[in-house]
Amino acid sequence: MHLSRIKALGSRLADHKYVWLCLGPIFIALVVVLIFGATERLIRLTGLALQVLGIGTVIWGISETRALFGHASLRSMAKAGLQRIFSRSHDVTVGVTTNSASTSAGKLSAFTKFDPGPNPSLDSRLDALEKNISAIHDRITETQRELDGERMRAMDALKREAETRQCGDAEIQKKLEATGTGGVHISAIGAAWLFVGVVLSTAAPEIACLLK
């Protein structure tokens, strides 16, 4: 019974994680000011720390967006940049251009023609004509079968491409929604930290006098 209540409480807290993340540093800053003496200098430093955290949320938001779309993180980019700056060895890249020729082979079809022969009789002419008509019919049937096959393959390719595009559009839509929602939360957290930090830094003398 108690375990289920603890799990329910944990799920509720997880649903409001951005709220707790926003209020946590502010609460810690106020506790530090009250415990270690509400001096003007300490209040200013605490406000400055909150302002730095608020500015850091901008970097946090950029990193979240880049990670969501599969780009390299700012940390890895900064590390790679420092390695390039302080690297003593320079890599020389030699480009080689090669000419390649591609050949495409077409499908060759043979067409049989029946000849009645030299000095044909009427029966041989009719027999050759019947065979040629039958060959033409077979050729038309084969061509129609090939066209149907090509049409079905083209329709399957278009269907697969449409499904791929639809899945890609849905994935992009989800990423955009996640970016927008997460960006609003991160911006709100940064704004709250900046606001409290500016208040503490600006009104440090008045707050110190009030808490004495």
Cβ-based neighbours of 53, under 8 Å, separated by 6 or more = 25, 190, 193, 197
pLDDT at 2 over 80: no
Burial of 92 (0-12, 13-18, 19+ CB in 10 A): exposed
pLDDT of residue 176: 67
**pLDDT digit string (tens) for 50-74?**
999 888 888 877 777 777 666 666 6
Q: Residue 44, Cβ neighbours under 10 Å: how many? A: 19
What is the value of pTM for the model shown?
Answer: 0.47
Q: Give tens-digit pLDDT for 97-121.
A: 444 444 434 455 555 666 767 777 7
What pLDDT score does 101 carry? 42
Residue with tokens 């980019």: 77
Name the token pair of 144.
């129609």
Average pLDDT score over the chain:
75
Q: What residues contact residue 204 under an 8 Å CB cut-off, 6+ apart?
A: 40, 41, 43, 44, 47
Map residue 73 onto helix, strand or coil. coil
Q: What is the pLDDT of residues 16-58, one digit of tens each?
A: 777 888 888 899 988 988 888 888 889 899 999 999 988 888 8
